[in-house]
C-alpha cells in the first residue's frame, strides 16, 4: 500500500503525464491509501466547484487517521528533529505517522518528506 501525498495529488490533477501514469497504475491495482490530513489539504486547496468531484474520487479510497501511537511517535520525532537541526510541520508529521503506523511507504514530491526519510522516520516510494 502506498500513501500518496498532497504534492503528488496536485501534480496528478494538473495532468502531469508522468505522475498520472504512476497514480493510475497504483489506483488500478488498489494500492493507494489516503491519510486523512492529505484528504483535508486537498479539499482545503480546491475551488468550490471542484469539491463534489474530489469527494467522490476520494470516497473510493481507504482513509487512515492518526491514533494514539501517531501522537507518541510525533512527539519522539519532534525531539529527534530538533536535536538534529530540523523542523517539520505538524500536518507533515501526522501524515508520516499514519504511514509508519500502517507499515507503508509514502510517495511525495515534497522535500520535507525526503528529509524525514534521511532521518529514518519514513520510507519513500521509489521514483522509478
**Phi and psi dihedrals of 105, rounded to 5?**
-115, 160
Could you give the angle at which helices 36-45 and 90-101 cross, rounded to 10 degrees?
A: 140
Could you give the angle at which helices 111-118 and 90-101 cross, rounded to 10 degrees?
A: 60
0.95 surpassed by pTM: no
Q: What pLDDT score was predicted for residue 126?
A: 77
Q: Say which CATH superfamily domain 2-118 falls into.
A: 5'-nuclease (3.40.50.1010)
Sign of the Cα torsion 128, 123, 105, 115 reads negative
For the record, the C-alpha cell of 118 comes out as 534521511
Q: What pLDDT score was predicted for residue 47?
A: 95
Q: Where are the alpha helices (DSSP H) in the chain?
A: 6-14, 17-28, 36-45, 51-59, 68-83, 90-101, 111-118
Q: What pLDDT score was predicted for residue 128?
A: 57
Beta carbons within 10 angstroms of residue 121's beta carbon:
22
Q: Per-domain residue ranges for the chain?
A: 2-118
Question: What does each of the 128 residues of the chain score in pLDDT, given as a tens digit?
Answer: 999 999 999 999 999 999 999 999 999 999 999 999 999 999 999 999 999 999 998 999 999 999 999 999 999 999 999 999 999 999 999 999 999 999 999 999 999 999 999 999 999 997 65
Beta carbons within 10 angstroms of residue 92's beta carbon:
20
Amino acid at each position: 500500500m502506498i500513501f500518496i501525498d498532497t504534492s503528488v495529488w496536485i501534480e496528478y490533477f494538473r495532468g502531469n503525464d508522468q505522475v498520472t501514469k504512476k497514480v493510475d497504475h497504483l489506483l488500478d491495482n488498489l494500492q493507494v491509501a489516503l491519510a486523512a490530513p492529505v484528504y483535508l489539504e486537498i479539499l482545503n486547496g480546491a475551488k468550490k466547484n471542484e469539491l463534489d468531484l474530489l469527494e467522490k474520487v476520494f470516497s473510493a479510497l481507504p482513509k487512515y487517521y492518526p491514533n494514539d501511537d501517531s501522537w507518541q511517535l510525533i512527539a519522539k520525532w519532534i525531539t529527534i528533529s530538533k536535536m538534529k537541526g530540523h523542523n517539520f510541520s505538524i500536518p507533515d508529521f501526522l501524515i508520516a505517522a499514519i504511514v509508519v503506523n500502517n507499515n507503508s511507504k509514502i510517495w511525495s514530491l515534497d522535500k520535507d518528506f525526503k528529509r524525514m526519510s534521511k532521518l529514518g522516520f519514513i520510507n519513500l516510494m521509489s521514483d522509478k
